[in-house]
Chain A
Amino acid sequence: FELTQPPSVSVSPGQTARISCSGDGLPKQFAYWYQVKPGQAPVMVVFKDTERPSGIPDRISGSSLGATVTLTITGVRAEDEADYYCQSAFTNDSYVVFGGGTKLTVL
């Protein structure tokens, strides 16, 4: 079970960024998204495919269609520049997998 993300996405401020994550197991298991900035604690930004944890702005959202989940950030700001990782798991087998990460660059 692998998760595939694009290595990089670039957008201008105010535009919409979409980061995809594909994997055969995704239709059966939940996906989660994390924002990782250098020297900081990672932050969960999407929970169970589409839910937003407390404190995450509503311009960040998650969606799911078949074997692909997508993280969408509307009205991108300079502060959104970071690495984003999708993650899923088979809880019965205690198997955890991360995507390779996507570097979001705000031009």
Chain B
Amino acid sequence: QVQLVESGGGVVLPGTSLRLSCTASGFSFSDYPMHWVRQAPDKGLEWVAVLSYDGSDEFYADSVKGRFTISRDNSKKTLYLQMNSLKPDDTAVYYCARDPGPPGTLLWLLAFDIWGQGTMVTVSS
């Protein structure tokens, strides 16, 4: 079945780095733009970043620009989020999500039709 599974979360110190992974199954991963979305404890959803199906185009929320990098390995059906210079405000459940835009194009909808269950990242001293 169509599935996204995140991994790599944990407890880290402020200023350190962490890399999240998201492995896809049940659909043609290489055809779809992919996103990271996060939810801080007792807060709402916040979009983090998007990457085009071929990795050629990427955009970030202002809150993470310059610190986070989204990337993908289509041969491994895996999406990544490299998080550097982490702050306590980055504490959240991080979800990967598929964009339902036309497959194999750069026309993303910036919406999320398939989500993973999330991985928790805690930034604390």
Contacts and interface: CB of A to CB of B under 8 A. Distances in A.
Interface of A: 30, 32, 34, 36, 39-44, 47, 53, 85, 87, 89-91, 94-101
Interface stretch (B24-32, B68-76, B83-91, B112-120): B112-120
Given A87-B111, A89-B109, A91-B109, A41 B45 contact: no
Contacts of A85: 44-45
A98 B111 contact: no
Contacts of B39: 36
9 contacts: A32-B112, A34-B112, A36-B39, A44-B112, A44-B113, A85-B44, A98-B44, A99-B44, A101-B45
B62 to A, nearest CB: 10
A42 B39 CA distance: 11
Given A41-B116, A94-B110, A87 B45 contact: yes
Interface of B: 4, 39, 44-47, 50, 59, 61, 95, 97, 100, 107-113, 115-118
Contacts of B107: 91
Interface of A is mostly: strand
List 6 tightest A-B contacts by C-beta distance, closest first: A89-B110, A96-B47, A94-B59, A41-B115, A98-B45, A101-B44
